[in-house]
Structure formats: C-alpha cells, structure tokens
Amino acid sequence: MAELPTPDLPPARCSGRFTISTLLAMEEGARGPFAPAEGPGCDSAQPSLCGSTLCTRTFGYNTVDVVPAYEHYANSKGVGDPRKGRPTLADLHSILKPDPGRLHPVCDPQWSNGLPEAGPEPGLEEAEGEPDRASEQEPVRFGWVKGVMIRCMLNIWGVILYLRLPWITAQAGIALTWLIILMSVTVTTITGLSISAISTNGKVKSGGTYFLISRSLGPELGGSIGLIFAFANAVAVAMHTVGFAETVRDLLQEYNSLIVDPTNDIRIIGVITVTVLLGISLAGMEWEAKAQILFFLVILVSFINYLVGTVIPATAEKQSKGFFSYRADIFAQNFVPNWRGPDGSFFGLFSIFFPSATGILAGANISGDLKDPAVAIPKGTLMAIFWTTVSYLVLSATIGACVVRDASGSLNDSVAVGSLGCEGLACGYGWNFTACAQRQSCRYGLSNYYQSMSMVSGFGPLITAGIFGATLSSALACLVSAPKVFQCLCKDQLYPLIGFFGKGYGRNSEPLRGYMLTYVIAIGFILIAELNAIAPIISNFFLCSYALINFSCFHASITNSPGWRPSFRYYSKWAALFGAAVSVVIMFLLTWWAALIAFGIVVFLLGYVLYKKPDVNWGSSMQASSYNMALNYSVGLSEVDEHIKNYRPQCLVLTGPPNFRPALVDFVGTFTKNLSLMLCGNVLIGPRKQKMPESRLTADGHAKWLMKRKIKAFYTDVVAEDLRSGVQMLLQAAGLGKMRPNILVLGYKRDWRTASPQSLEDYVGILHDAFDFKYGVCLMRMKEGLNVSRVLQAHVNPTFEAAEHPENGTASRAAPSTMDCTALAGEQQASTIFQSEQGKKTIDIYWLFDDGGLTLLIPYLLGRKKRWGKCKIRVFVGGQINRMDEERKAIVSLLSKFRLGFHEVHILPDINQKPRPEHIKRFEDLIAPFRLNDGFKDEATVNEMRQGCPWKISDEEVDKNRAKSLRQVRLNEILLDYSRDAALIAMKGRCPSALYMAWLETLSQDLRPPVILTRGNQENVLTFYCQ
C-alpha cells in the first residue's frame, strides 16, 4: 500500500492534528483540549502539548492518539526511561479543557512514536565515561543452550545414570528398563510440552515452576506446590551429593583408605562436598554457569569413553568381573527381568529411576536469569529430554549386551569351556561364577556392582570423572533452583515467617539466605547416607509438581479465556490431562503412604491460603473458570421456569455508600448469605461528567468494604439527575437473567418532616415505583437511625455537615451542627447491632394481612442463622374474642403446612378497639403541617390550592382515611404492649398513600427494637405442596 504524502517536517513540528474533541467543538467554535498549537507548529519544549505520533505513521497529521508501542502494555518501565502512556478516553472525548495535572503526557520530544529519537539519552555521558560501571550493573542473562538445555541435561544426567541404571537393567531386564525409561519420559515430555505452553503465555519472571503454576492456577495451588517443589529440590541436592560421596567412598574402599566406616564416610564426604557447592553458588550465577559447562564437557567425554570401552576386547580382569563385550546370548538373558532384594519390583525400580528424569525444570527454575524465557524454556527443555532419553536407552541396551548379572571378580574362577558343574552364561566363555551366584555373594556383575560403567569403559577414571560431573552438576543445579523458587514465594508473602529468606543481594538479586536454608536441609538428608532411601522421598514431590503443571495447562485451555494465547502450539489439553492423571497414579503406585503425605501437605497449605485470602490478582485460570461457571449457570438458569419452592428473596438494598448504613447491610446480608442475591445500590446525584469519576474511584472501595465486613453482596451505582430517577434505573436494570432482585430494601426516612417537599415526594414515589415493577418492599426503621455518616465524619471533624438525603448517600450542604457525643455513641453502637448474637429474645411477626407470605419468610430465614438461632419466633394475628381458639388453631395448622416451625401464635382480639385520645391527638398534630385545610371544597378548588404544594393532604382525604389512620395508632399501642423487648418486629407494610409517611411514623413511634415493614407483591412465596 502506498503511503499518504506527508509534510516534510520534523516529527516534533507537525503543523496540525485532528482529534475527537476538536471535531466535537467545531460547531460551537470552541477549541478542543488538544487543538493545534498557535504558530506554525507545536512547541517541542512543551511535551504535554506536543503530538505523540510521527507524521509518517498516521494520516499525514500528528494525532493525539498514540501509535502502538510496547510501553503501553508493560507493567513497569525501565529506570531512566521517559514516562509514556496513551491518553485516557476522557482526554479524547471531553470538550472541556483538561487538567494538566491529571493527564498523562502523551508525547515526549525523544519518544514521538514509541521509539526513541536520535539524541543523547539521560545519563548517557556518565555511562560513556564509565563503561565498566555500567557493565557491572547489568545482570547475567543466558540463552536457551547454556541456560536451559545444558542445565536440564546435567540435572537429568544425575547419579542414577552412572550408579543405578546398570543395576536397574539387571533387575528389570532391558525390555522393562526401556519401559521404565519411556514411562518416565512420557510424563516428563508431556510436562515439558505443558510448561512450554505456560511459559510462552506472557512474559515470565523469576520464580520458575512456582511462578508458572501460581500465575496459571492462582496462589492457592501455586503457593503449596511452590513450597513443596523448593523443598524437593533441596532434598535432591542431598541425593546427588550422596551419589557423589558413594563413588568417592568406593574409591577409598578400593585402596583400603576409609576415613571411619563406609556409612560415616558418605556423611563426611557429603557435608564437605555440599559446602564447596554452596561456595560456588554464593559466588554468583556467572561462576555457577561456568562450572556447569565444565561438568557438561566431562560427562560427554565419559560417555564417549564408555562407548569405546564396550567395543574393546575384554581383558581377563574385566572378564572375571562379568564383562565379555557384545554377546547376543548375554543380551537375550538380560532382556528379561530377574528381581532381587527388597526393591526388586517394577514400581520399586521405577521410584528409584524416576528422579533421574526430573531435571526438566532446571531451566525453568532460573527463568529470571534467561534472556528470553518464552523461547529458551520450550526449546531447551524439549531438546534436553530428547538427548537424555537417547543416552539412557543406549546405555541400558549396550551394558545389558556386554555384562552378565553375577561375577566373582576372581581370576582363579577361570575354567575350561564346557567344564562339568559350571552353570550360567559365563561357562561358555571360560569362567565359573556358579558358587558365588548360588550363595548370592558375588561382588561383581550388573546385579551387584554399581560401578559397572567404570569397569566396562576404556579408561575407568574418566567414568569416575563423569560420575563426579553428573552428581555435582545436578546437585549444583538443585542448590541454585531451590532458593530461586523459594525467593519468589517469599516475595509474594503467601505464608508467614518466610519473608526473611526472600531478600536478594547483588545485581542478580541472589537469595543468600535461601541458599543457607537449602544448605541446612540438604545436610539433614545427607546424614541418611542411603541413596535408595532418599530417591523415593523426592519422587512423589516431583510427580506432584508435574501433575499440577499439566493440570495448569489443561485448566487454562478448557476455560476458553481470551488471555490464554501461548505462542508454543505443540501441546494438547487432553495430553496435559493425561499427564496429570498418570502422575497422580504413579505417585500412589510408587509409595502410597508418601503420596498421601504429599497430598496432605498440599491440602493443608492450600487450605491456609484459602483461609487467609491473599490480596493478589494474577489473572489465573481459576478466575477464568469461575467466570465460565457463572456464565454457564446464569444462562442455564434463564431456561428454568420459576417455581414457588425455588423462590429466594433477592434484595436490592438502597444503601448509598454501604459503609453509611452498616446495620441495614448487616441485616439483609444475614438472611441472604449463601442463599440469595444481595445488591447494594447507590445513586450519585449530579451531572454525569462530574459524578462518573467519583463512581469509578469509589466502586472498588465499597466492594472491598463489603468483603472486609464479610457480606456476600454486590455493589452497583448509577448517576442520575435525582434520586427517584436513579432508583428507577436500578429497579429496571439491576441483576442478570433470573438473578434479578425481587425485593427493594430501604431505610426509613427519619427527617421526613423537615426534609424538602421534593425529597419526600421522591421517597414515597420510589415505593410506588417498586410496586409498579412487581417488587416486594422491605422498609427498616431503627430508633437510632441507620445512617452513620455523622459518626464517620465526626472521627475527622467534631463539627460537620449532615446528609440531607440519606437515601442516596450523597451529602448536601446543611447548617453545621455541634457533635452530640451521646447520640453519636448510640448511632455507632446501633451500627453493629446485627453483628452480635441476639440472645434469647423474640422475633415478633404481626401477620395481620396476607401479601403472599414474605412477612413470614424473612424472619424464618433469620432464625436459621447462628446469631438469631436462640430467638423465639412469635406470630401475632388479628381475631375476635369469641373465636380465639378456632382462629389460633387455623393459623397454627396453616403455619405447620408451611413447615416453618412457628408454634407460638397469639390472637389480638382488641385490635379494633379505639386508640387512646392522647395518641389520636398526637397523630393529628403530626399531620397538621401537611394539611391543606380546604374546608371540604370541591375538587377543582383543591387542585388549584395544591399547585404549589402537591404533597399536602386535603380534608376529604383525611376524613376518608380516618379509619386506617386510627388503625395505625392502635397498632402502635399494641406493639408497645407486646413487643417492647423484642429483638425484631416484622409486620406487613401499608401500600403508599397521601398519609403514608405519617402512618409509618405513628406505627413505629417510640419502639426500641428494629422494625421491618414488609409488603410482598401479592404473589405466593410459600407453598405447602411438593410440586
């Protein structure tokens, strides 16, 4: 595609730009926030006004929108790099002049296109003047060969290769040895593919296996496996060191130069060796890498030396030890198994061999020291698995074709071919090993001599050097891996008391304290001094790690998360699942009790992290799986028809900011916890552009407050011009599918007599709206009030401004009032009333009218909770004095059919009595300020009088509703008589009318217990049918 013609100007001097803001402002003649600068071009001396794109990469203009650049997606910037970021959506969309202090600079004279311009960088002069100093500050980084492949091969070629593979071949035979090798390699190859996929799904940092699992599966499983894997590597240091010490001990024993005895010599040599390795590790990664290269060359030479030795004709001394060069009959005899000793079983030998295949993570464990982990880990790991597998198969086949299982090592055992009394293959080659084979006292041969490779080789000391190189390199790799993994775990602070070991030192942030901890653990296991006892211990831990790595890959694949995009494509989620399952099966087949211990440790550590709930967010596949499950269940739920038995009270609670009304939040959260939906709604009143930033800033804080208070609820807010409009939005749009609120919960408006008429009309209108949208309504009143914003402000300033509109949580200006300490203390105490046990009080239900059963259901759900469990529930119903027993039996029978467990029913025969005159007078005084006093004029006259005050009550309405008004006064008297000491009073609310607020005030006046007025939507929420 041909490029558009561009002006021949420097990038920092482009003469014009188009922005969304400029286009929006053209008709009004206004200049957008990023309009072209005055003059011929933009001033490069003012980066905040300068364009952020090169003219040649846009449509001929230097636009405010920036071109794609790495820095826009990086979590952090390099030291000394200029600050760089894309403009916010508000910057691009707003036609108002932006606040320079709020906006990110979108341009820098040296970074106009995401690429640095020519010119000196900050501090360049100093860097040029001191090149050595700059070089010292650059950490060591390795490529895929030196950092991964060689390191993995050295770790795989451990002590098992030289000292146990010939012995395993003698026990299991060549065929089953190959099967053991291939089974191990199958697990490690699948794991290698999985870890290749995980490591290429984003930028990998230090921490190795722990980092990959924790960022994939989350901190719960990642933390537990990180701790186990670090410990397994520390024990592996001991295993490889003991293998080295065994070889040295055998050399000393051959020359009769033991220090103390065979067992204690292993311990002494092992401790000295691991101390030397610790010194190499503490010297830094550069010296450790050089030592690994040296070990690698030594092992290669030893391999060549061994292969050459197999084709050299055997001397008499070697023949006496069982080596006869390549023989078909020897291969045939060694092809089948010959089990011996306590470890003589397939899975017994598998448990001993498997650690020799576990070094595949050695490269991944130093992911923080690799130049490009996404390339190095897959390539290096898979190549290491391939070449080491070839070497294992070749060694097993060749030594099984050359050496017999039993040999005496004595030159006196040579006989003539075909001698009588001679049994075994060696008889055909002139050697009689029958006596020692029958007594099982042979010192040599594949089944008895661990140093068979040295005996077969062309030059024995080279094999010894290879054993030294393999054991020491593996021990050194594990000694480096364990602290690196543990350091990352310490920095994440998932577990207590381990942060001390996470401190890094030097340019590579070496975990010196972690090295010392690994050193101590290794010495503890070196003192066991038995290789066959140490190897099975770590097998289960490594298998557990492999199972979780494979499960991580599988889990990330099946979640279908858009964030799972590994650049390594040669993996299969089903192969990963198979690898995870096989790893678990092998764990139990090897040592079932050790597998149970490993799983027990994982579960314990998992449970601890789940309990502590660390504040981390790594975008794990568990989070993606949670979303998938929620989405699938929500979609599936929308296909299910509603049924009364499945009814749940799903509440939209008008809390405003939830921390302003904690008692209301606690009350609803109590009966909805683990049962139904709870939404805390907040209406932000004001212009949208002013309130939207507030909404974005406070939403997370409110959600965290709910979590900290252990309330299982969602927070949502809307911006509206007034309270009623905002609540209407919430009533219509809150929820998802069948997970939608069906009850509106709000607090009682205590200041209704002094509040503005419009706010009172909005409050009553909200109740009308709820019923219009088929919501039930639950209104709560507490004597001390629900809004504790005064308490929150009083902690900051003793003189504060009260909130005029407590329903929406937005404060408006009012006259400053002096703090009443007693009142504030009462409000603060009332805010936690529902967080403590309610004791042996009563929950009184006044079921005077039937609205579908919601008035009964909410107290029933409360009674099931621990805090309300000791409360006795009483039901009060109206009745006639001459029919009290019949009516009580009828209600008890009905309640028993509902299976609510309410057995205490009280009949109120005096509910229709006339209230006391002083209470009637109090009600009339209450409504007096709100009366029109129209003298029963005609409707036209009344409407004309109401034009300026539509909330006032006409004389006709007062007279028409007199019976209902007196009923509220009488109910208040009954409540004071029967429920003065109740923990909660629940009763059916009245439908809204002109006198609604006066009725509510009268009904709940002077009551100490909290009162909830419930009004269902006239649909049944209880049933006594089973279908």
pLDDT, one tens digit per residue, over 919-976 is 888 888 888 887 777 666 666 776 666 666 666 777 777 888 888 888 888 888 888 8
CATH number at residue 769: 3.40.50.620
855 and 720 inside one domain: no
Q: Which of 594, 612, 630 is the last residue of a domain?
A: 612
Among 57-71, 451-465, 765-779, 836-850, where is mean pLDDT lowest?
57-71
pLDDT recorded at residue 947: 63
What average pLDDT does this structure show over 800-820? 42
CATH number at residue 552: 1.20.1740.10
Return d(Cα 409, Cα 342) in angstroms, integer: 24
What average pLDDT does this structure show over 370-394? 88
614 CB-side CA count, 13 A: 22
599 and 727 inside one domain: no
Q: Which of 749, 770, 787 is the last residue of a domain?
A: 787
pLDDT recorded at residue 853: 87
390 and 531 inside one domain: yes
pLDDT tens digits for 101-143? 444 443 344 433 333 344 443 333 333 344 444 444 566 677 8
How far, in whole angstroms, is CA 916 from its chain's centroid? 63
Return d(Cα 205, Cα 198) in angstroms, integer: 12
**pLDDT exceeds cutoff 90 at 494:** no
Identify which of 74-78, 93-97, 381-385, 791-795 has the greatest average pLDDT: 381-385
**pLDDT exceeds cutoff 80 at 515:** yes
The sign of the CA dihedral 999, 1001, 1006, 1007 is positive
**pLDDT exceeds cutoff 50 at 11:** no
pLDDT recorded at residue 36: 41
In a domain, 577, yes or no: yes
Between the CA of residue 317 and those of 170, 398, 458, what are the distances in Å?
Answer: 21, 20, 13
pLDDT recorded at residue 137: 54
Domains of the chain: total: 3
Query: Token pair for residue 329?
Result: 């009959």
Return d(Cα 86, Cα 63) in angstroms, integer: 12
pLDDT tens digits for 284-325? 667 777 888 888 899 899 999 999 999 888 888 888 888 888
Residues sharing a CB contact under 8 Å with residue 716, sequence separation 6 or more, in sequence order: 679, 680, 681, 682, 730, 734
In a domain, 419, yes or no: no
pTM for the whole thing?
0.69
673 and 765 inside one domain: yes
What average pLDDT does this structure show over 816-839? 66
In a domain, 998, yes or no: yes
Return d(Cα 876, Cα 212) in angstroms, integer: 62
Q: Which residues pair with 1006 in a beta bridge?
A: none
Burial of 252 (0-12, 13-18, 19+ CB in 10 A): middle
Q: Quick one: residue 721, left, alpha or beta (phi over 0 = left, psi -120 to 50 = alpha)? A: alpha
Task: Report the DSSP pairing between strands 817-818 and 799-800.
Answer: antiparallel
Identify which of 630-634, 916-920, 990-994 has the greatest average pLDDT: 916-920
In a domain, 913, yes or no: yes
Q: For the chain, what's the residue count?
A: 1027
Return d(Cα 530, Cα 1005) in angstroms, integer: 83
More confident residue, 396 or 813: 396
In a domain, 691, yes or no: yes
Backbone φ and ψ of 566, nearest 5°: -65, 135
Label residues 705-719 b or e (16+ Cβ within 10 Å = b).
Answer: bbeeeebebebbbbb
pLDDT recorded at residue 821: 61
Q: Which of 554, 589, 612 is the last residue of a domain?
A: 612
In a domain, 7, yes or no: no
Return d(Cα 790, Cα 779) in angstroms, integer: 21
In a domain, 62, yes or no: no
pLDDT recorded at residue 486: 86
190 and 265 inside one domain: yes
578 and 662 inside one domain: no
- Based on its alpha-carbon atoms, the radius of gyration of the chain, rounded to whole angstroms, reads 41
**pLDDT exceeds cutoff 80 at 530:** yes
Query: Token pair for residue 334?
Result: 């060694």
In a domain, 951, yes or no: yes
More confident residue, 38 or 927: 927
**pLDDT exceeds cutoff 90 at 440:** no
In which domain, by residue range, is 887 found?
845-1015
759 and 870 inside one domain: no
281 and 167 inside one domain: yes
pLDDT recorded at residue 76: 52
579 and 674 inside one domain: no
Per-chain mean pLDDT for the chain: 78
* Placement of tokens 């709604």 in the chain: 681
